[in-house]
Amino acid sequence: MYFEFVGGNLALDFANTVHSHGLADPRDDLKTGPDLMAWGAQAGLVGERDREGLWRRARSQAGTTELQRARKLREVIYQLFAGVARAGRPAPEMLDAFNPFVREAMTRARIQKSGEKYELGCDHRVRPLDRLRFEVTRAAMELLTSGKLDRVRQCSGETCSWLFLDTSRNGTRRWCDMQACGNRAKVRRFRQHQSSDRKA
């Protein structure tokens, strides 16, 4: 499976593994443990040497439990930032729901050297799928504390629920992907215009 990374932030990309969230027939890209592992690999969070053991684990009961925990984190992140996109700030109850994931991530954190600087990272002894949750949680934490919440958007596509960080100069981006949702909106407007012309 090929995953799209158009959110501009790892946590938003993780939330976007559900399509048409909130509608009657949402599509979930993370149906199985191997799906979660494949997303982690494409996101650059699961290394080549981790994959063989992870394939076996992902198909086990432990893998199912890890998938459930990851999907719970995903739902909290979606609700958190969808609230930001709609109201400009996260709902207090969603912050309360997110904070246990922050505490869990901090138990796996370490300060490490990166070039000439130091940064918050994940302990190298942490299992790969735990590291995946750590990195997604850290990305959400960084966005929440970045001062960029006014740039969090939800796609204006008719059936699209995807979230993205608007990095356009004037801050007026409306679609998660201009080539997909943006073009569909243009085609829809063109057809509506043609229909109106015929009726006139």
DSSP E strands in the chain: the ranges are 18-19, 27-28, 109-114, 117-122, 152-154, 163-165
Look up residue 83 and give its amino acid: G
Share of the chain above pLDDT 70, in %: 82
- pLDDT value at position 197? 43
Q: How many CB atoms lie within 10 A of CB 187?
A: 10
pLDDT in tens, 127-139: 888 899 999 999 9
What's the mean pLDDT in 124-149? 93
Higher pLDDT, 57 or 85: 85
